[in-house]
Amino acid sequence: MDQTTPRLLRALAGETLDRPPVWFMRQAGRSLPEYRELRTRAKDFISFCHDPEMAAEATLQPMRRFPMDAAIVFADILLIPGALGQEVWFEAGEGPRLGPLPEIAAMRDAVEGSTAKLSAIGETLKLVRAELEPERALIGFAGGPWTVATYMIEGRGSMREEARSFAYAQPEKLDALLDVLVDSTARYLVMQARSGAQALKIFESWADNLAEDVFERIVIRPHRAIVEKVRAAGVTAPFIGFPRGAGALVDNYAAAVPVEGVALDTQASAALGRRLQAGGKTVQGALDNLLLREGGKALDARVETLLEQWSGGPYIFNLGHGVMPDTPVEHIARVVSRVTGQPVKAFGLQGAGVA
């Protein structure tokens, strides 16, 4: 692949690079003081996500501070339920809340119009792409259908026992809901790719604790369907699948879902990553976000271990979970500097312009 192609895309094309590209889940957001300042200007979190100027600024903030190889559009996995007609809001300090689950038939009817309701995210992508250097990639994303469904069923983020029971008690209804989500998510990702997203990530945050047959039915099958639908629309952007917590079932996932990259969570073993690489996948992960927050020699040592264990194949350096809000910016800078070999200048607010 051309040397001017962004490093992230070269890794996702299967190249083993001289050093892995790096970006961090939740690199934009609450860990940055400039984000917290920006956030005060929006009346609520959902409005913030639907405001292209502000969302683009949030997307770019970490790119100004750190030599990250990729930006990820600032948005939320719960924008899709909103576009399908379910009320979504955020309680300060408590997380998302959702209104009653609409009828499946009503949501199915809403799928066709759902992408238009998410057009602001396309605008955000265009604004970011226009400002971002060409060697830095732009990632679009959506939530995995099962994860989004758990919020839609339970009305909030919780233990998901209710949603897991729903998978057994009302399998036809869950499958119908997942089908609606597959369809709307595929359309949303196609729109994101056409608006400038160069790679697409599916965040299946609640892929843990599922039996093998259920995992096949509610995670693997929907992911495969999304990738196939997006490909059928002519989009060639590579996919990163993130079945968080899938542990013993990650091999099943990698074998069955035609994603280019598999994001591994904190638990990933060296052997698992190497197995995926040998099977033709690009591996992403898996630094512990608690260790990033803690810092110190243990962090430095773990970064070296990760680089050593996976740099022999296609690899994207990242966390196993999102940056925690109280993570010192210096810790992020130190790790990114180590991986990229570039000094990181801006530790303060200097140079971090706010729209």
The backbone torsions φ and ψ at residue 37, rounded to the nearest 5 degrees and listed phi first, read -65, -45
Give the nearest distance from C-beta 70 to a second copy in angstroms: 23
Give the nearest distance from C-beta 158 to a second copy in angstroms: 12
51 is annotated as an active-site residue? no
The catalytically annotated residue of 30, 97, 108, 334 is: 30
Cis check for the bond before 286: say yes or no (omega within 30 of 0). yes
Cα dihedral across residues 306, 310, 317, 73: positive or negative? negative
The C-alpha angle with vertex 49 and arms to 76 and 129, in degrees rounded to 5, equals: 95
From 77, 246, 262, 316, residue interacting with a second copy (rule: CB under 8 A): 246
Does 172 bind a second copy (CB under 8 A)? Our answer is no
Q: Which residues within the stretch 196-215 sit at the binding site for a second copy (CB under 8 A)?
A: 208-215
The catalytically annotated residue of 35, 65, 151, 183 is: 151
> Any bridge partners for residue 202, and if so which?
142, 241
Does 267 bind a second copy (CB under 8 A)? Our answer is yes
Nearer to a second copy, 237 or 250 (CB): 250
The backbone torsions φ and ψ at residue 80, rounded to the nearest 5 degrees and listed phi first, read -65, -50
Give the nearest distance from C-beta 168 to a second copy in angstroms: 4
Q: In what order do the strands lie in the sheet containing 137-143?
A: 70-72, 137-143, 199-204, 239-243, 261-263, 282-287, 315-319
Distance in angstroms (rounded) separating the CA atoms of residues 298 and 264: 20
From 113, 171, 258, 325, residue interacting with a second copy (rule: CB under 8 A): 171
Residues of this chain that interact with a second copy (CB under 8 A) are 161, 164-165, 168-169, 171, 208-215, 245-252, 264-272, 286, 288, 290-291, 293-294, 296, 298, 302, 305, 320
Residues noted as catalytic: 26, 30, 39, 76, 151
